Each structure stands twice: as C-alpha cells, then as structure tokens.
Amino acid sequence: MTAPSQQDWQTLALKKRSTLSSQIPPEWLLPTTLLSTLTPTSTKSLLSVPSTSGILTAREIDLTENHDATSLVAMMLKKVATSYEVTLAFCKRAAIAQQCVACLTEFFPTEALTRAKECDEYLEREGMGMGELHGLPISVKDSFNIKGIQSTIGYVSFLSHPPASSNSVLIDILLAAGAVFYCKTSLPQTMMTTDSHNNIFGRTLNPHNPSLTAGGSTGGEGALLAMRGSVLGLATDVAGSNRIPALCCGIKSFKPTSRRVPFKGKTPPGRLGSPTSILPVIGPQGRSVRDFEMWMKTVMTSEPWRYDEGVLDVPWRVVEPAQRPLKFGLVRGCAKRPLHPTVKRVLHTTCKALEKEGHQIVPLDGKIPDIWDCAVLAFKYFLLDPKKTPVQHVLASGEPWIPSMAKSFPEELKGWEASLDGLWDMNVERARVLSAWHDAFVENDLNAVIMPGYQSIAVPHDTYGVPAYTVLQNLIDYPAGILPFLNANQELDTPYVDKDAAYEPPYTPKAVEGAPGAVQIMGRPMKDEELVEIMKVVESVLERAT
C-alpha cells in the first residue's frame, strides 16, 4: 500500500464534507450573504442567527429555546408536543448551527424523524412513553458509534472505515430509554487538544464569538448546544473534553466518576490497552443540572454492567437534596497558570453569592498539590504509548497537524519518553496527589470544591494550551461539572487585573469581551449523586446572583 499523496487527503476530506452538506435540505440553508461573513476572525455573536433566520417557526423557536430536556420529555409524555416536531425543530436548528460554526460530522435528519415518529406512535399505541427519555433528540460526539453511521473522529485516514456495524453500549441504552439521535458532532484531530479542529470537518467556531475557540475535545457539542441546536449532548472527558467546551460556550456539563457510565464500543483515537490510571469518562452537556440527573439516573438504572464489563455494578442512588449550609473548598489558581481577571471575578462573585446564602467557603491555598505539577504528571500518562498510535493515524493519510497540537502538551514534556520503570514512579506520585486531595476533603469536611475550569474564559483559536484545571479531576477521578456564570466585561474585570501576573495565554480583554464565564464544581468520587444535588444548589444561587 502506498501512502496517499497530499492531494488525496484533501480530496477525501472534501468529499466527506460535501456528503455532510448534502444532508441539509435546501430549505434549511442560510443565505450566502450571511454565510460569507462567517469566518474564524469574525467576532460577532451568532447566537441569534437561528431565531432570526426565518427557517424556524415560532413554535420551533420556543421548543428549542425555552425548555430543558426534562421539560421537553414531560411535554411529549403529556402530548403537548410530539417527538416529531421536537426532533424536526432541533434538526433545523442543528443544520443552521452547522452552517454557522461547523459543529457537525454526521447529520441524519431523515432517520431521526422516522425514529421520532415511531416514538410518537408508541406513545399513542401503548399509552406510555418508550422510556425516561421518550422522544428526546440527543446529539453525540463523533466517537460514539451509531450503527450505519461512520465514526471518522477527525482522522482523514479513518475516512476509509466502513459505517459502524453496531452501536456503542450507551447508544443502545439511550435508544431503549426512548432517545432520538440526529447528528454527531465535531472534535479535534487526535482528541488530545482543546480546539475542535480537524482536516475533515474544519474548525468549530464559538457561537458567542467566532474568533474564539469552542473548546474541545467535545467542542462540536459545545457549539451546537450554545446555538440551541441540541438540548442534551454526549461528551467524553479524559482531560476536560466534556467541561472545556462547556466553559467556552456558556453551557453546563457534568463529568461523573469513572466506571459508572458504560464506555464500551466507542471509536478510540489511540491504542487500546493503556496502562494509564486515568480512565476516560462519558458525561452529558446541556442546559440544566436536573437534565444531568435524569440522564445519569436513566443510564445507571438500566443495569449498564450487563452490557459493559468495565462498569461497576453500583446503581444510581436517590439522595436527599443537598444539606444546607454546604461547605465548599476554594481553589484560587496556581502560580504557573494565574487566573485571568474575568475568571477571578467569576470565582469571587460565586463565593460571595454562596456565602450570602449561608454556605461556607474554605480557601485551599497551600493545602493541595500544585495544579500545574498535577497536569504535567497527568499528561505523562497520555504519552505512554511507545507506538504513538495517534501519530500513526495522522501520518497514514498525509494530512498535516492542526495548529493547536503545538501547544497541547506541557513544555516540560518536550522530548520526554515514557518507560516502564518511570511509570512506577508516576503511580507513586499520583498516589500522593490522590492522598492530598482526599485529605483536603476529609479534614476540611468539604461537600465540594469551587474552582476555575480554566485560567481564562474562551481564548482565541489555537492558544488554549494545557487544560490544567480540568485534567486534575481525571488524574484523581473526582466527578466535576461546569456552570456558566457572568461574562467578560473589561470594565468590571479591570480591578481583578494583577499587573505582575504572567498570564498564559495572554489576557486580551478586547478579544474576549462578552464571552461567557464559568465555575467548576468538584465532588467526591462515587458520590455523583451528591454532586448533582450540590450543583443544583449552586445553579440556583448563581441564577439568583445573575
């Protein structure tokens, strides 16, 4: 087999993009005058494009904008909405989102509408819904396998793969619960960088400001959800891939403890069999914490251990609403990645709002291992494959590296080579980090920790770098979620500027003006149920403080 020429990969990629475009019916296409303004250097918010495009009816605008998944399922069960009309509304809006921000990899509205109709008919016929997610359209990251649909995950070399011959375990579970699938969403080349950019589908833009990153690796979801082209999306997370797009795009997300949600049957970006102690995790992105609860409960009461031997047979527990007052640890950043002014203001305002409602904040300065050191350790685990399989997947097609890969690993690891002997020492170091975080929780009697999800809000393309504040939760396997709060505002942020701070990436207030802020909330391992309840409390506190 000869290596394909550079021409080849471009032709292949173009062909795939054309196929994707052809899935959008002509009546859902935006005017070319508008499309021509959509570039990665434009700064204009695209959030209002769908509702002003004339493509959606008033009803469809309402269905896609004013409800969370819990509400939509209730409406369908009460027959005040059909799955068909809800699915059609989200299909239209996803098509518009795709034209605006290049968030999709696969789009199959015809199959989705057929399925939605089946859900409606089931409800008519049986007098009950198909399941806890009856008729609900759900968007999924491209790495999930859906039978009959390709999973190229952004590698040009994977364009030769046939469509998936079976569903990921989680897809089967959600189908059994009544879900409707209608699209798959874009992600970065290798899935190990934070700009959702690849040589097949291009670069996903941030709907709030197309000159900023949408985050990654589940950035297609993040952008689609921000455009309200989806109400609930499936993300994965091994270094923050579920949470980074959420904090960049102003949506919510939840990363559970590992081994609770079935991961089996996905298309991996690297080599199977990693001896890493960092396990990838699936979690939802969406609009409300109660949606995450509905989703987790649905998945975890479906006996997922039956279908995936990697799942711990520990069913979802019904827990009491979070006890008040709550006690939160607070992480105020680390020396190597000081917090940008907007993030400082968001954290400060969050803590004030929580304290105002009687909750307690305990700064963890000096009580926890250095965040950056933990990130360097974590990224060593991502470099354990001597065969460098993701590199092989890229080289196989002749496609070039995407620019953001240059910054995706810590500088300290340039030239670093994994060894079996060194892996023992890494594990000892990881045990030390685990122990320190465990002790911080126990000794301070914490319910959860409030911290940044990143040192900045969404940054210009290809500058995000190492996601130190999110990879921590993967290194120690603690559940965590993102809640959006406030927006960059140069005037309000100025008092938070530290003139001596070496901001990395640079703080560029004009470039990020108006972009959404966010906080990260981290809970205890296996206590996903409790974290959901705590996030509900924070969610409502932040709503009142907005």
Among 51, 168, 186, 217, the active-site one is: 217
User: With binding defined as CB under 8 A, does residue 419 bind its own copies?
Assistant: yes
Stretch of residues binding its own copies (CB under 8 A), selected from 35-43, 186-194, 379-387, 496-504: 379-387
Interface pick for its own copies out of 435, 494, 540, 546 (rule CB under 8 A): 435
CB of 536 to its own copies, least distance (A): 20
Cis-peptide, bond into residue 26, ω within 30° of zero: no
CB of 537 to its own copies, least distance (A): 20
- Cα–Cα nearest to 340, from 470, 546, 506, 492: 506
Question: Can you read off the two tokens belonging to residue 88?
Answer: 């059609």
- Identify which of residues 121 and 445 has a Cβ nearer to its own copies in the complex: 445
* Residue pair 157/172 in contact by the 8 Å Cβ criterion: no
User: With binding defined as CB under 8 A, does residue 511 bind its own copies?
Assistant: no
- Let me know if 36 is a catalytic residue: no
Q: Is 451 annotated as a binding residue?
A: no
User: With binding defined as CB under 8 A, does residue 38 bind its own copies?
Assistant: no
Interface pick for its own copies out of 524, 534, 537, 541 (rule CB under 8 A): 524
- Identify which of residues 406 and 431 has a Cβ nearer to its own copies in the complex: 431
Binding to its own copies in span 131-190, by CB under 8 A: none
Burial of 145 (0-12, 13-18, 19+ CB in 10 A): buried
* Residue pair 482/524 in contact by the 8 Å Cβ criterion: no
Question: Can you read off the two tokens belonging to residue 384?
Answer: 């354990």
How many residues line the site for its own copies (CB under 8 A)? 37
Among 241, 258, 397, 456, the active-site one is: 241
Interface pick for its own copies out of 321, 428, 491, 499 (rule CB under 8 A): 428
Q: Which residue has the tokens 């996905």?
A: 266
CA distances from 441 to 407, 445, 479, 532 (A): 32, 6, 13, 17
Question: Can you read off the two tokens belonging to residue 484?
Answer: 């959006």
User: With binding defined as CB under 8 A, does residue 440 bind its own copies?
Assistant: no
Cis-peptide, bond into residue 275, ω within 30° of zero: no
Question: Which secondary-structure segment (H or E) carries 361?
Answer: strand 360-363
- Let me know if 160 is a catalytic residue: no
* Residue pair 406/17 in contact by the 8 Å Cβ criterion: no
Cis-peptide, bond into residue 18, ω within 30° of zero: no
Rounded distance between C-alpha atoms, residue 231 and residue 321, angstroms? 24
Q: Is 191 annotated as a binding residue?
A: yes
Interface pick for its own copies out of 382, 437, 464, 485 (rule CB under 8 A): 437
Burial of 240 (0-12, 13-18, 19+ CB in 10 A): buried
User: With binding defined as CB under 8 A, does residue 444 bind its own copies?
Assistant: no
- Let me know if 165 is a catalytic residue: no
Interface pick for its own copies out of 431, 495, 540, 543 (rule CB under 8 A): 431
User: With binding defined as CB under 8 A, does residue 274 bind its own copies?
Assistant: yes
Q: Is 83 annotated as a binding residue?
A: no
Rounded distance between C-alpha atoms, residue 544 and residue 299, angstroms? 31
SS3 state at 181: strand
User: With binding defined as CB under 8 A, does residue 426 bind its own copies?
Assistant: yes
Rounded distance between C-alpha atoms, residue 349 and residue 299, angstroms? 34
Binding to its own copies in span 82-141, by CB under 8 A: none
User: With binding defined as CB under 8 A, does residue 500 bind its own copies?
Assistant: no
- Identify which of residues 80 and 420 has a Cβ nearer to its own copies in the complex: 420
Rounded distance between C-alpha atoms, residue 40 and residue 58, angstroms? 30
CB of 282 to its own copies, least distance (A): 18
Binding to its own copies in span 292-321, by CB under 8 A: 306, 309-310, 312-314
* Residue pair 335/372 in contact by the 8 Å Cβ criterion: yes
Question: Can you read off the two tokens belonging to residue 123?
Answer: 């409800």
Interface pick for its own copies out of 125, 387, 499, 510 (rule CB under 8 A): 387
Half-sphere exposure of 18 (CA within 13 A, CB side): 6
Q: Is 241 annotated as a binding residue?
A: yes
User: With binding defined as CB under 8 A, does residue 277 bind its own copies?
Assistant: yes
Q: Active-site positions?
A: 141, 217, 241
Binding site residues, its own copies, CB under 8 A? 271-275, 277, 306, 309-310, 312-314, 384-387, 418-421, 423-428, 431, 434-435, 437-439, 442, 524-527
Annotated binding-site positions: 191, 217, 238-241
Which residues contribute to the annotated binding site for substrate? Answer: 191, 217, 238-241
